[in-house]
Chain A
Amino acid sequence: MSPAERLGDYVPLLLFTAMALIASGLVVAAGAAHLLLPAGWSLTRPLLVTALLLLTAGGAMAMLHLGRPWRAGMAVAAIGRSWLSREVGAVGVLAVSTTLALVIDLAGNPPPPVWGTIALAAATMGGLLTAMTVGKVYDLPAQAGWRGPAQWLTPPIATLLLASVLLAAAPGGALLAGLAAALLGADALLLTLRIAAARRRSRRGPAPTFARHARVLTALYVLRAALVPAAATSMLLGWHAAAPVLVAVMLIIDRCCLYAGSARVTPSTEMAILKKERMRQATARPRT
């Protein structure tokens, strides 16, 4: 039985991952702002609040999708070998440090005490680790639609992109627009590689898990691709509020593309490839 027979079954995971990545981007932006920008700390509160709301909602969804949510504490038991364990750990660090930083912020006016800086640094680390582990969790030999560097580099690149467009919008952040542009370029390159791989798979196999939703998947990829120039354009035009929103939407659409593009490698799908070839030969060859 496949992990999810219906695309709908994946929705909680999809939303949780997207929310975690967006939260990571917000927190990394907050940390970088504090580090790089004058009066950076004063920008952190709305970012941290939003991040925490996303993490709470996403965390609840992630817990509830478990068959046995009351055992969730055991999820960090395999940090030594499991990317999922590491992701849970990273999100844990992110959530706890963000909460601490926010509490410290609420407790007093800027500039923050040293604990606040440490908490924010830890949260930033947590955000970066979350972005990377979310990528690696999907890098499985059994998933032709999810594996490979083009796929697992996308979440960290996109998270950094979100952080950089947020910073570019902040006062004094104009220099980061260049970084944002470079990251956008990297994202576009990775997307191109992913689409090319998907098209190769559509010819040879394995068949997509959700083949019946093929048109939806195409539409999602088109939308995903369109959001890249849309974000770039909004930055060029100086629509600073729009760019982070577009990148956040892009992150969500990107996760949709990932899940909808599932292409499991199993004995069934491998047999199907061989069968398809034998059936094709049975129609192609004249029977002599």
Chain B
Amino acid sequence: MAGASASEQGRRTHFTTCPYNCWPINCGLEVTVEGGRVVGLRGNPHHDLSRGMLCVKGQSALEIHTSPERLRAPLRREGPRGGGRWQRVGWDAALDEIADRMRRNIEAEAPQANALYHSHGNIVQRINWKILTPRLANLTGMTLWDGNFPCWYDVGLAQELTGFYGLHDPVEIGACSAAVVSWAQDPCASMANMVPYLLQVRDRGGMLVTIDPRVTQTAALSDVHIRPRLGSDVWLANAVAGLLIRGGAVDEEQMAAQTFGYERYREHVLDLDPVHAAAECELRLDEIEGLAELYATTRPLCTNLTRGALGKHWNGVQMVRAVLCLIAVSGNVGIAGGGAVWGERIDWNLDLQAAERRPRGVHFPENNLNAIDATLEAGAIDVLLVIGGNPMSQWPDLNRLRRQLERVGLGVVFDLFMNHTAREVADLVLPGTSWLEELGLRASGTRMYAMDKVTGPLAECREASWWMDRLARRLGIDDYFPWRTKQECLDACLDTASCRGMTIQNLLERPQGMAAVLPEVPFADGRFASPSGKLELFSQRAAQLGLEPLPVYSEPIEGVRSTPELARRYPLQLVSARRNTHFHSFHDSHRAIPTLATLEPGPLLHVHPRDALTRDLADGDEAELLNDRGTARVRVELTTEVLPGHVSLNDAWPELNVLTAARCPIDPAVTAALGVGGQPSYQNTLVELRRAQG
């Protein structure tokens, strides 16, 4: 292998990156191979951002590759769905069956009945996610859905409506930021690789602030912890902005130059009485004033803004808009160490997605929960390919979804392990290669890294592009994979302005990665991705689409205040959370990974001792979580990390989504227009808890 270095004992060292998807840093890995077997795995010390560190999941990553539970051959269901009986079949037979069924729908002029859903698990290397999978769907004319919608789409919509994304770099933050506000974001749990940079801020005398109703791990490391009522963040952000304006801390000239709609925004937030806001947020006025003081006097201040958590509220778009506007008026846009942390800045050659080859005149349902739910409810999907995803754990309202998916004619799951979707919905299960068995690329902050192919594929496991090519050919598409080698393909993907000078060969020779060609500080040039070219405090796009142009509060669709009748029967608010030991429901909720499974073998519900006491529940008791949508069994962990009236569950477990509702405030037309929006309102779920019966 090109990137390997040999040593006397016949050991070779390869460099790749971790197969999980912890934005914006994806940690580097150094893999040692001897005699064709992987014998060691540790952090890549040359990696510019992760610097040799690996979290608990990365440290256990070899257990993915070597797991005896890995799928080894294509399987065909025998007996009823969910019956657990499978028969090995060959790839050809499996692909023939898929192609035949897809062709029938194409010939019946219903190509949209063929659907493909792919998610994080297909992110093993970036180009599967960004280019090769969308390319298959576009060339064969399939409905294309992906895991962006449950993850961050409404946050993305707020950014599109504002024209501002953040995009600051952890290294920059660690070196420059005077303060970091983690707003509905728990980096300690969901991206531990950010923590050294946060602690660097603290060690330099900077401040760390956490805004979250829960006492997160990040809150325990922060100087200040603000606990607003669940979903009240619009009040908080608008009140702080109002205090800044009132206090004369806003550079109005800068606002005129940088933003659009400042006058209307200013009037909007000044209309708000901070005392009223404090009551809505259930905070003390001095806490809001303290936050305002921080934004006013401490610069540069970086807001480590939610990746997806706020978007999982009915009012999520407005909440994120409110915070983005606050960042703007506080003067933190376009300065080093300011703004917000977001994700990838490097662009890929998205022309290769071949979006223009999609059949015209066909209505393909949008990547938006409302569109997806309506489509499935109508029974309009005949073939469903699930690639590196797990809807039967991660999509909302699982009992409803199960009923809907029963009507899918052919369910196909491509993954490394059996998971809930494979067991309950699949007719065919296809075995995927692990990340060590594929050559690929990964972006990390502002740098690009190669993912070296370390070993050959296990048994009959194959890369996604291998079988996608063969499927495409069966459907008459012979240019799905027009390159001679994977290396050529990757080089084509790198053909962009920011990746100038990068080739896979160059990258394989550089374990330290290569820097992308990007502006020093995001948005320092004052150009924003909006109709006005400015940061839109008053969003023109929102107005055009019939959405609120200024950040406003609305009560959640389901909540203790908004649905008091329901709250009488189900008084607890269910909040999903992240834990270090799990990355969503990867690897069958990590039950296939011994170290991770030992650390959290099953769903553990965080319950405040007051709520436990009134329900006669003790630490470690088996309990049932229930509402009108279903009942789920969990184990109770008493903790003061949640507020009374809240219960919290790791989103790795399907038990969470037995209770959530398949609701989303954004019309698919918005998604069609802007390419984002459509996130389920997971966090607006009321439940009751009781001892397990039997």
Contact = CB atoms under 8 A, between A and B. Distances in A.
Tell whether A pairs with B.
Answer: yes
A288 to B, nearest CB: 12
B640 A278 contact: yes
B623 interface: no
B265 to A, nearest CB: 36
B638 interface: yes
Contacts of B610: 282-283
Interface residues of B, number: 9
A283 B608 CA distance: 9
Contacts, number: 17
A74 interface: no
A283 B613 contact: yes
A10 to B, nearest CB: 22
Interface residues of A, number: 7
Interface centre among A275, A278, A282, A287 (most CB of B within 10 A): A282
A280 B639 CA distance: 11
A114 interface: no
Contacts of A282: 608-610, 640
Interface in B618-673: 619, 638-640, 644
Contacts of B644: 287
A211 to B, nearest CB: 10
A278 B640 CA distance: 8
A283 B617 CA distance: 13
A280 B610 CA distance: 9
A279 interface: yes
Contacts of A279: 609, 619, 638-640
A280 B619 CA distance: 12
A184 B609 CA distance: 47
A250 to B, nearest CB: 35
Contacts of A287: 644
Contacts of B638: 275, 279
B contacts with A: majority SS? loop
Contacts of A280: 609
Contacts of B639: 279
B679 to A, nearest CB: 33
A73 B287 CA distance: 69
B342 to A, nearest CB: 37
A282 B613 CA distance: 11
Contacts of A283: 609-610, 613
Contacts of B619: 275, 279
Interface in A267-288: 275, 278-280, 282-283, 287
Contacts of B609: 279-280, 282-283
B631 to A, nearest CB: 26
A280 B638 CA distance: 11
A283 B639 CA distance: 11
A77 to B, nearest CB: 34
Interface centre among B609, B613, B619, B640 (most CB of A within 10 A): B609
Contacts of B640: 278-279, 282
B303 to A, nearest CB: 29
Interface in A239-281: 275, 278-280
A192 to B, nearest CB: 31
A280 B644 CA distance: 14
A262 B680 CA distance: 50
A275 B644 CA distance: 17
B210 to A, nearest CB: 20
B648 to A, nearest CB: 15
Interface in B598-622: 608-610, 613, 619
B515 to A, nearest CB: 45
Nearest to B643: A287
Nearest to B610: A283
A179 B44 CA distance: 75
A257 B683 CA distance: 50
A71 B305 CA distance: 61
Interface string B348-388: 00000000000000000000000000000000000000000
Interface string A33-60: 0000000000000000000000000000
A208 B88 CA distance: 50
A226 B619 CA distance: 35
Interface in B570-614: 608-610, 613
A275 B640 CA distance: 10
A168 B608 CA distance: 62
A279 B619 CA distance: 10
Interface string A100-130: 0000000000000000000000000000000
Interface centre among A279, A280, A287 (most CB of B within 10 A): A279
A283 B618 CA distance: 13
A196 B638 CA distance: 30
B636 to A, nearest CB: 12
B682 to A, nearest CB: 27
A273 to B, nearest CB: 12
A278 B619 CA distance: 13
A41 B644 CA distance: 76
A205 to B, nearest CB: 13
Nearest to B638: A279
A163 B610 CA distance: 56
A280 B613 CA distance: 10
A252 B248 CA distance: 83
A279 to B, nearest CB: 4
B645 to A, nearest CB: 11
A208 to B, nearest CB: 15
A275 B612 CA distance: 14
Interface centre among A275, A278, A280, A283 (most CB of B within 10 A): A283
A282 B640 CA distance: 7
Nearest to B609: A279
Contacts of A275: 619, 638
A204 to B, nearest CB: 17
A282 B607 CA distance: 12
A279 B613 CA distance: 10
A235 B663 CA distance: 80
Contacts of B613: 283
A34 B608 CA distance: 69
B617 to A, nearest CB: 12
A278 B609 CA distance: 9
A279 B620 CA distance: 14
Contacts of B608: 282
B260 to A, nearest CB: 44
A5 to B, nearest CB: 14
A287 B643 CA distance: 11
A91 B138 CA distance: 81
Contacts of A278: 640
B692 to A, nearest CB: 16
Interface string B437-472: 000000000000000000000000000000000000
B557 to A, nearest CB: 28
Interface in A67-115: none
A279 B638 CA distance: 8
Nearest to A276: B619
A282 B638 CA distance: 11
A35 B644 CA distance: 74
A280 B75 CA distance: 53
A283 B610 CA distance: 5
A207 to B, nearest CB: 11
Task: Give 3 nearest A-B pairs by CB, closest first.
Answer: A279-B609, A282-B609, A283-B609
17 contacts: A275-B619, A275-B638, A278-B640, A279-B609, A279-B619, A279-B638, A279-B639, A279-B640, A280-B609, A282-B608, A282-B609, A282-B610, A282-B640, A283-B609, A283-B610, A283-B613, A287-B644
Interface of A: 275, 278-280, 282-283, 287
Given A278-B640, A279-B640, A283-B609, 14 more contacts: A275-B619, A275-B638, A279-B609, A279-B619, A279-B638, A279-B639, A280-B609, A282-B608, A282-B609, A282-B610, A282-B640, A283-B610, A283-B613, A287-B644
